[in-house]
Every structure is written in C-alpha cells, then in structure tokens.
C-alpha cells in the first residue's frame, strides 16, 4: 500500500510551490495533477508518471468519483503518490472527498500546504489583506454556487471571491444586496503569479467592465478594505520603469 501526499502547487509559476512540496514531489512515482498547476513542475519529477485529472469550474467536469477511484488505485500500485493541486489543497479543491476516499480504503496520507490564489493576488496587487485598525477580517468565498447566490449578508471587512471570472457581471447586484456600498473598492486579479497576470481596479458599480479584461482566466475578486490601493506619500525618488514589473498589466476603472 502506497502513501499519498497532497501538495499545494501554489497559484502559478513553478517556483511558488513550497520547498517541502518540491522535495516530496521530487520523490513521486506518480503525480495526479490539476489544470491550474504549472507544467514546468514536471521537471521536478521527470521520471514520475504524470496524470492530468484537471477540471475547470462546472464546465468541463472530470467526475470527482472517478478521480477518487484513480487516486486509490494509484496508491495501491505505487509507493509514493502525489496529488498536486493548484493553490492550497484545502481551499475549493475537493480535498474533503479525496481524504474520505483514502480513509475508506485505509491509505495513509499527508497534506503539504500551498500559496492560495487570494494570497498571490494580494501580493501581485500589493494590497494587504488586513489593514491595521480597519481591515480586521477577510473571508474566502466561492462566487460560484450551484444555487448561484451569495449568503445574505457580508461577513468580513474584505471578501475574496474565487471562481469569479464568469460572475463579474452578476456580482454587483449580489454584493449590493449584501449591503456593500456601490463605491466600495474592488480589485480583480487573474493569473496571479504568472508572467501574464492582470490586475484591474474598480468599484462595485463598475465591476462588469472587468468581464472582458479577465475572460477565460482564473480570477479572484477582492472586495472591501483589502481592495484599496495603499496610500503613498509623494515619492522620495524620481519614478521610473520598474524592471520587476515587466509582464504585469494594471487597469483601473
């Protein structure tokens, strides 16, 4: 009987995996990976068998039951199985179902955490998720439920919506119904951590303008205090192009 390690690959570029994650991945016999993991990670375990079990939203849905069964079968056939998930395995990653399947089959496992998309987006946009004195709580929420509705009231100073790309047109109505003001800051980040990441700044009432900008890309939407740009004093040095910002596009509306 093999051992399964769930590894959070991080949100984008291969070097956003943790050191521990990369170390365990390097010893894998077989890797079951998701759509949003970087293909460059294959170089870490070139001799392993890599199996794509990816799915995106509810559109192209690989059957979760089939993934569970494959995971169990691989663990019976191989010593070291890695289940590589985008971001962190514990967030919107169906980890519960896969842990249950392994437990039911008597297979041991561990979870190596990863950098979730909300954290990568906050880093990309340089918008801290908490702010001293006025941003004390953040909630991580799925924008895409089977019922298509958000809960009735907002529950934190800032909310980060996952699986939000196709919901940008519908979100304003739902946010206003939750009690957010129309001029609340909203920051939209797609492909955070990748060379083509895109950051756009809006208010709730202008959020639909983000739809075309981020179309087809994994997107998180931050609403509230954490979406506000950090106030800066006049620059002490002359402004110039920042070579580290190459490949980062920023848009405001």
Ligand X SMILES: C[S@@+](CC[C@H](N)C(=O)[O-])C[C@H]1O[C@@H](n2cnc3c(N)ncnc32)[C@H](O)[C@@H]1O
CA distance 148 to 164: 11
Closest CB 189 distance from ligand X, rounded Å: 5
Among 5, 68, 80, 190, binds ligand X (CB under 6 A): 190
Beta-carbon neighbour count of residue 246 at 10 Å? Answer: 8
- Of 61-69, 175-183, 202-210, 217-225, the window that binds ligand X (rule: CB under 6 A) is 217-225
Residue 85 appears among annotated catalytic residues: no
- Of 87-95, 146-154, 202-210, 232-240, the window that binds ligand X (rule: CB under 6 A) is 87-95
Residue 34 appears among annotated catalytic residues: yes
Q: Is 187 in the site for ligand X (CB under 6 A)?
A: no
> In this structure, what are the phi and psi dihedrals at residue 50, rounded to the nearest 5 degrees?
-105, 125
Q: Is 6 in the site for ligand X (CB under 6 A)?
A: no
Q: Is 167 in the site for ligand X (CB under 6 A)?
A: no
Q: Is 213 in the site for ligand X (CB under 6 A)?
A: no
Nearer to ligand X, 78 or 94 (CB): 94
CA distance 202 to 222: 10
Q: Is 88 in the site for ligand X (CB under 6 A)?
A: yes
Nearer to ligand X, 60 or 132 (CB): 60
Report the DSSP beta bridge partners of residue 185: 203
Q: Residues 36 to 75: which contact ligand X by CB under 6 A?
A: 36
Catalytic residue among 38, 55, 63, 88: 55
Q: Is 188 in the site for ligand X (CB under 6 A)?
A: no
Q: Is 87 in the site for ligand X (CB under 6 A)?
A: yes
Q: Is 91 in the site for ligand X (CB under 6 A)?
A: yes
Cβ-proximal residues to 7 (8 Å cutoff; 6+ apart), any chain:
17, 21, 24, 25, 82, 83, 84, 85, 89, 112, 114
Q: Which helix (H) or strand (E) holds 251?
A: strand 249-252
Beta-carbon neighbour count of residue 244 at 10 Å? Answer: 7
Nearest to 202 by CA among 215, 181, 185, 182: 185
Q: Is 162 in the site for ligand X (CB under 6 A)?
A: yes
Q: Is 116 in the site for ligand X (CB under 6 A)?
A: yes
At residue 30, the 3 state secondary structure works out as strand
Cβ-proximal residues to 72 (8 Å cutoff; 6+ apart), any chain:
101, 102, 105, 107
- Of 66-74, 113-121, 125-133, 235-243, the window that binds ligand X (rule: CB under 6 A) is 113-121
Among 21, 135, 172, 193, binds ligand X (CB under 6 A): 193
Nearest to 174 by CA among 184, 118, 219, 198: 184
Q: Which residues contact ligand X by CB under 6 A?
A: 11-12, 36, 85-88, 91-93, 116-117, 120-121, 162-164, 189-193, 218-220
Active site residues: 34, 55
């Amino acid at each position: 009987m093999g051992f399964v390690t769930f590894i959070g690959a991080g949100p984008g570029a291969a070097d956003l995996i943790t050191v521990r994650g990369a170390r365990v991945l390097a010893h894998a016999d077989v890797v079951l990976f998701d759509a949003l993991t970087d293909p460059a990670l294959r170089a870490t375990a070139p001799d392993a068998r890599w199996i794509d079990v990816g799915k995106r939203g509810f559109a192209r849905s690989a059957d979760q039951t089939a993934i569970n069964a494959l995971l169990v079968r691989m663990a019976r056939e191989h010593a070291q199985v890695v289940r590589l998930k985008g971001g962190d395995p514990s967030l919107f990653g169906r980890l519960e179902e896969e842990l249950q399947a392994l437990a039911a089959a008597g297979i041991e496992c561990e979870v190596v955490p990863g950098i979730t998309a909300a954290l990568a987006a906050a880093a990309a946009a340089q918008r801290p998720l908490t702010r001293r004195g006025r941003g004390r709580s953040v909630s991580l929420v799925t924008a895409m439920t089977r019922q298509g509705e958000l809960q009735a009231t907002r529950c934190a100073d800032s909310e980060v919506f996952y699986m939000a790309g196709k919901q940008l047109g519908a979100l304003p109505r739902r946010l206003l119904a939750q009690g957010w003001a129309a001029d609340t800051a909203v920051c939209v980040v797609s492909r955070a951590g990748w060379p083509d990441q895109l950051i756009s700044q809006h208010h709730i009432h202008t959020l639909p303008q983000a739809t075309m900008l981020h179309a087809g890309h994994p997107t998180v939407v931050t609403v509230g205090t954490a979406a506000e740009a950090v106030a800066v004093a006049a620059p002490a040095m002359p402004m110039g192009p920042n070579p580290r910002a190459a490949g980062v596009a920023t848009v405001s509306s």
